[in-house]
Chains A and B, each alone.
Chain A
Amino acid sequence: MSEAIIRLENVNKWYGQFHVLRDLNLDVAKGERIVICGPSGSGKSTMIRCINRLEEHQQGRIVVDGTELTNDLRHIEAIRRDVGMVFQHFNLFPHLTVLENLTLGPIWVLKKSKAEAEATAMKYLERVRIPDQARKYPGQLSGGQQQRVAIARSLCMSPKIMLFDEPTSALDPEMVKEVLDVMVSLAEESGMTMLCVTHEMGFARKVADRVIFMDRGEIIEQNTPDAFFDNPRHERTQLFLQQILH
């Protein structure tokens, strides 16, 4: 298992008395694409937010690309450079234009020149199909466009790993597809390691190498998408799938 780019060992986390993550063990291989689903409050977002230390775990070990996450700020910043994250609410910087949003990280963190950063930014804006919006402010874009900008912003950092935290759940229904399309093409073309918390089961079937089902802070079941959807083994998984697939 030396291939694992992300490794969680017996990870535990509490919010006060509430035990959000219970003894999580997970190995993610390089280039693997994982979809994580589960009922709300099951700890799935918390888990992926622990991977880039937006949340702190209290027990166990998390190793990302050979570096263990500890309180050492340099390790945290180093890992964050290599781990891109896309949020449910986009978290674009509203006071900067789309282009400035995209070049901020490369210029200030990766120390690239402005010209180089802008060239990269435009390349990724092409890729998410909104190069014409580069000079606008995020507030002038639709939700779907904003989320695509957010994806491009992460990509501009050339991350080794991309985390998606319910990227489509804040979007109007007609905008979900444009974002999913971008994510599918990213998965198919780049070979990037991806962890995606989502309830888009079509997306999971199409691109995931593995689907993980979490409930009450535990990983209940994991399998290839086909096996997961067609033959869920665990009772709670079956119940959950019934509910979301109607």
Chain B
Amino acid sequence: MSAHPTTGLLPPKATTSWLAWLKEGLFSSPLNILLTVIVGWILVMAIPAMLDWLIFDADFTSDTAQGCRQAQGACWAFIAEKHRLILFGVYPYDEQWRPLLASVILVGALVCSAVRYFWKPWLPVLWVVALSAVAFLMWGGVLGLTYVPNDRWGGLPVTLILSTFGIAFAFPFGVLLALGRRSHMPAIKSLCVIYIELIRGVPLISLLFMSSVMLPLFLPAGFGIDKLLRAQIAIILFAAAYIAETVRGGLQAIPKGQYEGADSLGLSYWKQTRLIILPQALKVVIPPLVGIFISLFKDTSLVVIIGIFDLTQAAKAAIADAAWRGFSVEAYVFIAVIYFIFCFAISRYSQSLEKHLDTGYRR
């Protein structure tokens, strides 16, 4: 009470009761009441039907498509039947523990890189080991593993590989492009501007198509680059342009005083960029960068148009099975859940990273 001796008023009571919250949050004005009623009605209509389809009327066990069609709801038996095709594509069936293990290693390496404890000088070594293990498992050909050419890779590992390498290479490349675009050297600057504007002016699909169809025409005969690698390069080139523009936004948010402070210490351009400018600029653009990473992860599904067997293409293959026709919704829900798990994890991680890097400095 003595905190406010002049007025004697109590501070406003914290509204912790759920009733108060309801009143405050849902019924505070006529418009809010109307919206609450409408949304409530939609939920009442939609949720039971959805639950019926998803769970109560769904068939989890049927062995055949016929049995499954009897059920009113979803046919999860289809997923049970086809999950290995969707997850691993046409990778030899008996060897599918290899892509599974490779995916686990890849995800493990990603998770490790996200944890601060692992931000040590030996983290790159961990990645070299992990990637070697992935390559060894996927290709095989040594130590008694049969050789599997990469046009038989498919499903989740392909999606993970494309997006991991996509981000890993596009990010530094994009940062360099952003720095180049702000360079005082006209040649470098215009080169970067032209690159960024060209790439951003073209849809990813056409880049993939070009890399798949046109590039081989320009290369000397017998000098073939692997299809998967070509798609990978197209994804990297594409994402780098977007990352560059986002990072440039972050660079522009850095006040001139930071450059001057670094200059006055005699730091060279690269040291000042690495130690002072980029750490701050990148922190500012974490949210949009993560947006780019998430869309890159999902955009890898576009490689279906050049016939690479990623998660989406594998799902389409599963649907195409004549014996199990008509369960495309289940297949797409299944891969949507997989995409969602990864994207949501990325998103949550970026939030915690932002909080972690906040040093309480507001300009």
**A residues with CB within 8 A of B:** 52-54, 77-78, 80-81, 83-85, 87, 89-95, 104-105, 108-109, 137-140, 153-154, 157
Contacts and interface: CB of A to CB of B under 8 A. Distances in A.
B260 interface: yes
Contacts of B187: none
10 contacts: A54-B263, A77-B268, A85-B264, A87-B260, A93-B280, A109-B271, A137-B359, A138-B359, A139-B359, A139-B362
A105 B260 contact: no
Interface residues of B, number: 23
Given A108-B271, A137-B361, A139-B359, A93 B264 contact: no
A80 to B, nearest CB: 4
Contact of B264 (A80, A94, A95, A140): A80
Contact of A93 (B271, B276, B283, B360): B276
B265 A157 contact: yes
A140 B257 contact: no
A84 B261 CA distance: 10
B263 A80 contact: yes
A81 B361 CA distance: 27
Interface in B315-361: 357, 359-361
Secondary structure class of chain B's binding surface, majority of residues: helix
B359 A109 contact: no
A109 B363 CA distance: 27
Given A104-B265, A109-B265, A157-B266, A139 B279 contact: no
B55 interface: no
B188 interface: no
A93 B259 CA distance: 10
B258 interface: yes
Nearest to B279: A95
A94 B261 contact: no
B215 interface: no
B275 interface: yes
Contacts of B271: 108-109
B267 interface: yes
Interface string B144-173: 000000000000000000000000000000
Interface string B274-286: 0110011001000
A54 B267 contact: no
Contact of B361 (A54, A139, A153, A154): A139
A118 to B, nearest CB: 16
A139 B267 CA distance: 23
B260 A54 contact: yes
A80 B261 CA distance: 11
B264 A109 contact: no
A54 B256 CA distance: 11
Contacts of A77: 266, 268
B357 A95 contact: yes
A151 B324 CA distance: 75
Nearest to B360: A139
B359 A91 contact: no
B141 to A, nearest CB: 46
A30 B234 CA distance: 60
Contacts of B260: 54, 85, 87, 91
Contacts of B268: 77
Interface string B288-302: 000000000000000
Given A92-B261, A139-B360, 14 more contacts: A52-B263, A52-B264, A54-B263, A54-B264, A80-B264, A80-B265, A85-B260, A87-B257, A87-B261, A93-B262, A94-B280, A95-B361, A109-B265, A138-B359
Contacts of B257: 87, 89-91
Given A89-B257, A108-B275, A95 B359 contact: yes
Contacts of A153: 265
A105 B265 CA distance: 6
Given A94-B361, A137-B360, A109 B283 contact: no
A74 to B, nearest CB: 10
A92 B257 CA distance: 9
A164 to B, nearest CB: 12
A235 to B, nearest CB: 35
Contact of B280 (A80, A83, A91, A95): A95
Contacts of A87: 257, 260-261, 264
A187 to B, nearest CB: 19
In this complex, the member of B266, B268, B275 whose beta carbon has the largest number of chain A beta carbons within 10 angstroms is B266
Given A95-B280, A104-B275, A154 B359 contact: no
B267 A93 contact: no
Contacts of B267: 104-105, 108-109
